[in-house]
Amino acid sequence: MQQRFYHGSPKHFPIGFRLAPQADGYAQRDEASDLEKLFESRRPAGKTARTKSVFLVADPDLIDAAGGYTDAVYLVEPKSTPEQSDLCWYSEAYAEMESEPHSMARVLECIDQYWSGEPFPVSERRCTEYRVTAAIVLELAELNVDFEDLEQLPAAPADYSRWPDLLPDAQAIAEYISSKTPYEICEEQIEEQYFGSAARLQWIALSSISLEKQEHHEIDPKRQAKCEKRNVATMPPFLVEDGVMQDGHHRIRTLLAKGITHHWVYVTEDAPDSALAPACASRWDRLYDGYEPS
């Protein structure tokens, strides 16, 4: 029998909604910031950062113990391979950090055990959580409050046919970015950056997008002013990779300033195998074929 996964939330998610890591999620809470930094510093290569994770459980009865909301419990489909950890190691690390005096060696031991996936030795206290980069809502499994008490998501505009549902490969991503910027950019460089990737259109919460790279994108006052005059309902989607804003910084600043909470976004994902052509077959290789520098 295929393993089932659940996610708890105070929000109402429609069937098919894509859950993404939240920039204001519990891994970003101020009271845990020092501990979260320690967890990140000890994260093994290849493991998904907690700040870039959607947290799931295999038993809905564990949602409360895992620190999740029990208002609405959703059956979900993970969109990446679930990474398993025992949250009790996190609780032990937190309790040790709060004690006076505390043993940093014990804190680091608990953190390493968390990342290893090792079950907590006391079986009655075990609380297994799973980290994924995204998940799709399959059904509302439990409703423990009145439906009207759930936070309702803004409805997506009905007409979004002007944007393709999928940018199937790196070339399509590069062409889309190029078509939305008034500046001259190098499409070849963008294709190299997103080789092996596709980008799927999603209606998502802007709070789930990290602007950690925003300092690398200088504000162009004229372009920002033009964005602020645009109809937000028809504003082009921007590009997000691993929850981090990649293209569309002027657009998202305008939306946030106007109090918009959700918008269409292209979220990168692995391209289908059929879309992965050998590097020698790229359009740039064909363009330069036979060219020899003097």
160 belongs to a structural domain? no
Asked, for residue 285, whether it belongs to a domain, the answer is no
Cβ density class 11-48: b for 16+ within 10 Å, e for less: ebbeeebbbbbbbebebeeeebeebbebbeebeeeeeb
CATH code, domain with 187 = 3.90.1530
Are both 215 and 145 inside the same structural domain? no
* In a shared domain, residues 193 and 80: no
Same domain assignment for residues 53 and 147 = yes
pLDDT of residue 159: 64
The rounded distance, in Å, linking the Cα atoms of 294 and 162 is 45
Domain endpoint, select from 120, 152, 184: 152
pLDDT surpassing 90 at residue 214? no
Identify whether 284 is part of a domain. no
Task: Indicate whether 173 and 267 sit together in one domain.
Answer: yes
- Same-domain pairing of 99 and 42: yes
Which pair of tokens denotes residue 81?
A: 């391979």
Is 294 within the bounds of a domain? no
Residue 287 lies in a domain: no
CA distance 277 to 255: 37
Identify the domain boundary among 119, 152, 185: 152
How would residue 113 be classed by pLDDT, with cut points 50, 70 and 90?
very high
Q: What does residue 106 show for φ and ψ, rounded to 5 degrees?
A: -70, -40
Would you state the pLDDT for residue 189? 85
Whether 161 is in a domain gets the answer no
170, 252: one domain: yes
Cα 196 to chain centroid distance, Å, stands at 18
d(CA 243, CA 269): 11
- Specify the pTM: 0.67
Question: Domain check: are 10 and 105 in the same one?
Answer: yes
- 171's CB contacts (< 8 A; 6+ apart) are 187, 191, 282, 283
Domain boundary, last residue among 128, 152, 176: 152
- Residue 213 pLDDT greater than 60, yes or no: no
Same domain, 131 and 252: no
Does 75 share its domain with 204?
no
Rank 32-41, 82-91, 277-286 by mean pLDDT and report only the highest. Answer: 82-91
The arithmetic mean of pLDDT across residues 146-174, rounded, is 83
d(CA 250, CA 228): 9
Residue 286 lies in a domain: no
Predicted confidence band at 278 (pLDDT cuts at 50, 70, 90)?
very low
Q: What is the pLDDT of residue 264?
A: 87
Q: Are residues 96 and 213 in the same domain?
A: no
Whether 65 maps to a domain, the answer reads yes
Q: Are residues 183 and 139 in the same domain?
A: no
Range of the domain at 222: 166-279
Q: From 199, 208, 151, select the one nearest 177 (Cα to Cα).
A: 199
| Confidence band for 39, pLDDT divided at 50, 70 and 90 | very high
Tell me how many domains the chain contains: 2
Same-domain pairing of 143 and 175: no
